[in-house]
Structure 1
């Protein structure tokens, strides 16, 4: 565990180059080329982290200002994914889930029951969070670990099933996304898209960014969409004209820079992927393998990012109007984009369809968070989590982005109450 904790603490931008460098050498890539591939992956992750950090740092204050401006007063505060990750990695089930997940993935690969080699170890916190909340309910390590591993297994299955469609939509060959924050919501995107196809008029709306750009030229380009959305969010926050302009430029910068950083990462990924494909085809001519990665690679798509920005005020509105909701969207508002990253291909990258799917997703998340808040708060206490600034010590917690408030996470947590 000391070794794993050391690796995890380095973060993806350090951890992933090491993993990809080793993988490249295993698959016969020369050391110089392997070094370059690994570093490009690391540089890409670092760039993605910096750009997403810019997005979160820019939108965080705007989201807080919206909350204050509209006088939202709910009893369960969204403490954000950093707190959620800390709860997951701070739970006593970590060694059982981490080594159990790696072993389960290996066994399924050997038995030809999965194609995904999930190297996205940092995001194991999604499964660990579900298990950590179950531990807060039951106090039983075996049941908690089993819940987390069931979550891991189902997400792995979804990663396999969605890989071909996602690869085609995002032009990313040989990868999949066993990412509990995103993968679990794919069925919702499929159902919503199917319903919209049956609704006259609504099924004719084509809000694909490529189509918008084709029709409106520069006014439909991602940088323009980012500028407009940044301005709208600044206005809703009640900011001054100069602050609104600053937010507009930063959001536009994210819309342009994030795809560029993803391209850097993909350049390194392609080297390892091609070498792996060549080697594995020789040994397993009838099999196909995917490298399991973080959906951060997908959020730079204009349809996903633009819709994610629109979901911020929508989430606040839902929090107010949904009867029985107790969750105040707060820290994770800027991270909502991750919830819709994998449904986009199933909604034809149509922002209207993605947005409607997003409304359904946020509704489910808010109700799940309201329901499990006592268990979630207890899990945070057991993990000795430090509350984010501005959250009172008597306030209950939940989060928008993470495994526990997904439909699957909620079901597993509710089932665990049988063993209290």
Structure 2
């Protein structure tokens, strides 16, 4: 755990280059080329982190201003994914889940039950968050650990099943995404796309970025879409003209810079992936393997980013109109984009269909968050996490992004109540 905690504390920008440098050497890449590949991956992750940081830091104040402007008064605060990650990594089940997940992944690979080598260790917090809440309900390390590991297996299976479609749509050969926040929503995208495909009129709506660009020219380009959406969000937040225009420019910058940073990472990834493919095919001629990574590689797609921005005001509207909802969307409003990357290819990158899927996903999350808030808050207390400053009047906390409020996480938490 000392070694794992040290790696995690370094962050993906340091952890991933080390991992991929070692992988490259194992698969026979020369030292110089392996170093370059690892560094490109590290630089890519750092670039992605910087651009996503720009997005979150720009949208955060706008989202909070919307909450205040619309006068929302709900009793469960969305405390955000950083709190969720702290709860996950701060729970007593960490060593059992981390080593258990690594062992299960190896066994499933040996038995040909999975193709994915999930090295996205930092995002194990998605599983751990569910387990942390289950532990708060049951006070049982065993039950909480089992919940996490079953979730890990299910998400690994989803990663395998979705990989071919995602690889084709996003041009990411040999990559899969065992990402508990995103993967569990892929079936919803499949279902919504099927339903819309059966509805006359709606099924003819074409709203993928390429179609928009062809119809509207410069207006449909990512930089213009980013500017328009940023300006609209600034207006909804009640910003002055200067702040509105600044937000428009920053969102446009994210739309342009994020794909560029992802390309840098992929350049390094290709070297390791090709060497791994050649080496593994010699040893396992009839097997195919995927490298499991963070869905941050997918959020740079214009369809994903544009829909993620539209989901911010939609989340606030749903919070008001959904009967029985107690959750106040807050910190995670800027991170909603991470809910939909794996939905996107199944909705044919159609922003309209992705957005409808996003509404369904948000509805499920808000109700799940309302239902488990008491236990989520207890899990936060166990991990020594307090309510964010300024929201002490709220009676509980939850998160919109993270495994606990996904349908799968909610199901395990509800089942665990049978043992409380």
TM-score for both structures, normalised by structure 2: 0.99
1:209 is aligned to: 209
| 1:173-212 CA-partner distances (Å, limit 9, x unpaired) | 0000000110000110000000000110100010010111
1:332 is aligned to: 332
2:157 is aligned to: 157
2:44 is aligned to: 44
Q: CA deviation at 1:394?
A: 5.4
TM-score for both structures, normalised by structure 1: 0.99
Distance 1:244 1:414 in 2: 43
Question: What are the equivalent positions in structure 2 for 1:94-109 lying under 5 Å apart?
Answer: 94-109=94-109
| Residues 83 and 387 in structure 1, CA contact (< 8 A), matched pair in contact too | no
Distance 2:32 2:56 in 1: 36
| Residues 129 and 403 in structure 2, CA contact (< 8 A), matched pair in contact too | yes
Q: CA deviation at 1:21?
A: 0.3
Residue 288 of structure 2 is aligned to residue 291 of structure 1: no
Distance 1:393 1:269 in 2: 47
| Residues 48 and 262 in structure 2, CA contact (< 8 A), matched pair in contact too | yes
Q: CA deviation at 1:61?
A: 0.2
Q: CA deviation at 1:390?
A: 2.2
Q: How many residues align?
A: 420
Distance 1:36 1:258 in 2: 21
1:77 is aligned to: 77
| Residues 77 and 394 in structure 2, CA contact (< 8 A), matched pair in contact too | no
Distance 2:195 2:61 in 1: 36
2:64 is aligned to: 64
| 1:317-360 CA-partner distances (Å, limit 9, x unpaired) | 00000000000000000100010010000000000000000000
| 1:40-97 CA-partner distances (Å, limit 9, x unpaired) | 0000000000000000000000000000000000000000000000000000000000
| Residues 179 and 295 in structure 1, CA contact (< 8 A), matched pair in contact too | yes
| 1:212-238 CA-partner distances (Å, limit 9, x unpaired) | 111211111000000000000000000
Residue 341 of structure 2 is aligned to residue 344 of structure 1: no
Please give the secondary structure, in 2, of the residue aligned with 1:117.
Answer: strand
2:120 is aligned to: 120
Distance 2:22 2:214 in 1: 43
Distance 1:77 1:153 in 2: 30
Distance 1:284 1:58 in 2: 47
Distance 1:33 1:105 in 2: 28
Structure 1, gaps ≥5 residues long: none
Q: CA deviation at 1:2?
A: 1.2
Q: CA deviation at 1:393?
A: 6.8
Distance 2:391 2:183 in 1: 30
Q: CA deviation at 1:403?
A: 0.2
1:263 is aligned to: 263
| Residues 25 and 31 in structure 2, CA contact (< 8 A), matched pair in contact too | yes
Residue 169 of structure 2 is aligned to residue 169 of structure 1: yes
Q: 1:317 to 1:389 in 2, by over 3 A?
A: same
Distance 1:390 1:29 in 2: 52
| Residues 208 and 349 in structure 2, CA contact (< 8 A), matched pair in contact too | yes
Residue 236 of structure 2 is aligned to residue 236 of structure 1: yes
